[in-house]
Amino acid sequence: MSTELIKGHNRIQNGRVWDDNLGGAVGVEALDTNDVIKVLHLPNDVDLTAIAPALDRIETILIDFPAFTDGRGFSLARLLKTRYGFKGLLVADGQLIPDQYAFAMQCGFDAIRIDQDRLARQPQADWAQGLTDFGLTYQCGYAVKGGPATSVFDARLTAYDDLKKNDEYYGYSAELTLRKAVERFSGKIVLASSLGVDSAVLLHLAAKIDRNLPIIFLDTGKHFRETLTYRDQLIDRLGLTNFQNITPDKDALKVEDPDGTLHASDPDACCNLRKVRPLDNVIHGYEARITGRKRYQTPDRAEMPILETGGRQVKVNPLAYWQAKDVTNYIQQHDLPPHPLLALGYLSIGCQPCTTRVAPGEDPRAGRWRGADKTECGIHYIDGKWVPIERKKTFEAF
């Protein structure tokens, strides 16, 4: 890199702006010599094992940030300072914004280098404030209406304050969310479990907090025998002391589904009879319900908040932001028993008549009500239908 290319740059260090004096930066090809290197410029996808032997003769390293959403440079900084013990000056070079300043320091950078245009838009006061405004929650990402933030001001206004305002459990771990919800709605909160393939996760988290937490299971009379066995196994393993099986009203069953085939002719009516109404009968005394739903499971759930208000009852979705791999990891880490049908190709399990295996590569929920225009049983709907709460889109900053 020639000195011309870095003319007009400044360095932000300890919250202050300094004239940049990092001229004469060279690229990795300079490592072929044994000379002392004053300033080395690295792309953010560089292989550090090739640089490591030369680190003790490099005075300053600039790491390129081609976009503020590209966080690979942070990982390089951590590795250079912790794994490879780089003792020289480490400078982030490029498109960082003030809100990333504190995190850059945490990763091992000593300074950030920006051009004059950026400094004009984001003056020293912004950078100094960035050191105190944002903590680790910053890494949870921004929430910006209509896409990525275009300025630091947009990011500040929308990312932190608005998301926190709309979803006060934003940024909490699943366990902390659950713990806070159980404390907040003490005695008035219930966990509804489907005993599906990943139900063990939420039940395990609940057992860590309060083994006597009310847990309800909609025992529709149509479940797989394996699901009922799994239920008993988990109750025993986790020591759950307040597990309740909720069954449909016997008289209503005789009238509305006398031969037990309503699921085939009218699955919505069947779900209403065997799930929605029995649930309604027991949960009206609770102010909040804990669910194990996740955003990735269905398009309807894609923007589901962690703390869901607006209906008759608050819903707490501690696993909302979890991915399938998070569930798998948790189950493995805690050695939780798998649902017996998982090994047989059932990736989402409900009542036996309405659940089929899924083929490799198929959506896990494709086996639920296969062939029918139905994706939910209704118990997560308000007044019979899903009522989406306006949410801002999120994206991972890095």
**Distance (Å, whole) CA 347 – CA 350:** 10
Contacting ligand SF4 within 204-223 (CB under 6 A): 220, 222
Please, which residues have CB within 8 angstroms of residue 88's CB and are 6 or more apart in sequence?
55, 58, 59, 60, 61
Q: Are strands 142-143 and 394-395 parallel, antiparallel or unpaired?
A: antiparallel
Smallest gap from residue 193 Cβ to ligand SF4 (A): 15
Asked if 353 interacts with ligand SF4 (CB under 6 A), we say yes
Distant-in-sequence, close-in-space partners of 153: CB < 8 Å, separation ≥ 6: none
Residue span binding ligand SF4 (CB under 6 A) among the ranges 31-39, 135-143, 350-358, 390-398: 350-358
Per rule CB under 6 A, count of chain residues that contact ligand SF4: 13
Q: How far is the CB of 347 from ligand SF4 (least distance, A)?
A: 16
Binding mask 375-394 for ligand SF4 (x = CB under 6 A): --x-----------------
Structure tokens at 226: 């394996």
- Residue 221 CB, nearest approach to ligand SF4 (Å): 8
Would you list the DSSP string of 258-289? TTS-HHHH-HHHHHIIIIIHHHHHHHTT-SEE
Whose Cβ is closer to ligand SF4: residue 223's or residue 289's?
223
Selected range binding ligand SF4 among 31-39, 96-104, 226-234, 351-359, rule: CB under 6 A: 351-359
CB of 367 to ligand SF4, least distance (A): 12
> Minimum distance from CB of 195 to ligand SF4 (Å)?
13
Among 73, 94, 98, 350, binds ligand SF4 (CB under 6 A): 350
Closer Cβ to ligand SF4, 268 or 303, answer by number: 268
CA distances (Å), origin 370, targets 267, 275, 295, 367:
11, 19, 21, 5
In angstroms, the CA 121 to CA 35 distance is: 38
Q: Can you tell me the distance from the alpha carbon of 1 to that of 328, in angstroms, rounded to the nearest whole number?
A: 46
CA–CA distance, 9 with 175 (Å, rounded to integer): 45
Nearer to ligand SF4, 130 or 267 (CB): 267
Tell me which residues in 263-292 interact with ligand SF4 (CB under 6 A): 263, 267, 270-271, 274-275
Q: How far is the CB of 339 from ligand SF4 (least distance, A)?
A: 16
Q: In the chain, what is the straight-line distance between the N-terminal and C-terminal CA atoms, in Å? A: 26
Neighbour count for residue 21 (Cβ, 10 Å): 11
Structure tokens at 145: 């209406």
Tell me which stretch binds ligand SF4 (CB under 6 A): 32-40, 101-109, 153-161, 346-354.
346-354
Find the radius of gyration of the CA atoms of the chain: 27
Q: Which residues participate in catalysis according to the annotation?
A: 377
- Nearer Cβ to ligand SF4, position 350 or 367? 350
- What is the footprint of ligand SF4 within residues 219-248 (CB under 6 A)? 220, 222
Compute the half-sphere exposure of residue 213: CA atoms within 13 Å on the CB side of its CA. 29
Residue selected from 80, 206, 304, 351 as contacting ligand SF4 according to rule CB under 6 A = 351
354 binds ligand SF4 (CB under 6 A): yes
Least Å distance, CB 126 to ligand SF4, is: 54
Placement of tokens 């609770």 in the chain: 286
Sign of the C-alpha dihedral computed for residues 78, 84, 87 and 90 taken in this order:
negative
Pick the piece of the chain touching ligand SF4 (CB under 6 A) from 11-19, 131-139, 145-153, 349-357: 349-357
Residues that bind ligand SF4 (CB under 6 A): 220, 222, 263, 267, 270-271, 274-275, 350-351, 353-354, 377
